[in-house]
A = this chain, B = another copy of it.
């Protein structure tokens, strides 16, 4: 890969990103939670449910980049405070998106992991700003981005001094319309041979269909991913966004059980 210095695999040492007591890149990490923080009750109940089911961290959006200005844009600071309460209730560290370089400093007060969404993958000002923060960064692959461009965006963050970047494959845009995007699982072994950074997989946004998430979560484990991030809500039918790709807590619990079994098998059998 041209131009990569810091993100390149050298000598076999892989980065492990510490997030409270979770170590991303060691074992298999499951991040789960609602698409958007809509209310305290929804968020905390979902957080408790995913905690019980075995999640290691809570995801949830307070700032939502939406295609239309008239779609629900998230609760902002109020949403972050709800996430904070959910953390107090469950102990789960918080993964939440930041969308503006001006917000990085104060959002970091509430977030344990700063998520850079697919639409902002090449928002270089934002990358530099999270590169200057102390928080780990979850860098989603842009829906039109090559693996090379994606690693260069990680390089922007690393180059500012933040060594804690987690890559997240979430599907690329293609002509196929049965799925919302096309999950590119080849990127998992590709990243493993190119870079020392951990990589997790988001089958929710990649497929947009609940029915495909179990199989692709297991495929992510088998492909060598370091984790998955999935949308779970106590009430997917009433979710303000992404309901058709959001798992119920019991669907999620079933997947976690299968993931853990498979990951243990893979660890032993290698």
Residues of A within 8 A of B (CB): 2-3, 5, 65-71, 99-102, 119-120, 122-126, 142-144, 146-149, 152, 155-156, 159, 172-179, 182-186, 188-190, 192-193, 206-207, 211-212, 214-216, 218-224, 258, 261-262, 265-266, 269
Contacts and interface: CB of A to CB of B under 8 A. Distances in A.
Nearest to A178: B147
Nearest to A188: B215
Q: How many copies of this kind of chain does the complex include?
A: 4
A219 B182 contact: no
A144 B143 contact: yes
B206 A186 contact: yes
A175 B176 CA distance: 8
A190 B182 CA distance: 12
The 5 closest A-B pairs by CB, nearest first: A144-B144, A222-B222, A100-B125, A3-B68, A189-B215
A189 B212 contact: yes
A262 B258 contact: no
Contacts of A185: 183, 185, 216, 219
A172 B100 CA distance: 25
A188 to B, nearest CB: 7
A100 B101 contact: yes
B211 A216 contact: no
B71 A3 contact: yes
Interface centre among A177, A186, A262, A269 (most CB of B within 10 A): A186
B178 A174 contact: no
A262 B222 contact: yes
B207 A186 contact: yes
A69 B65 CA distance: 25
A123 to B, nearest CB: 5
B143 A125 contact: no
A147 B119 contact: no
A158 to B, nearest CB: 9
A174 B176 CA distance: 9
Contacts of A156: 69
B190 A178 contact: yes
B178 A146 contact: yes
Given A124-B65, A223-B218, A182 B175 contact: no
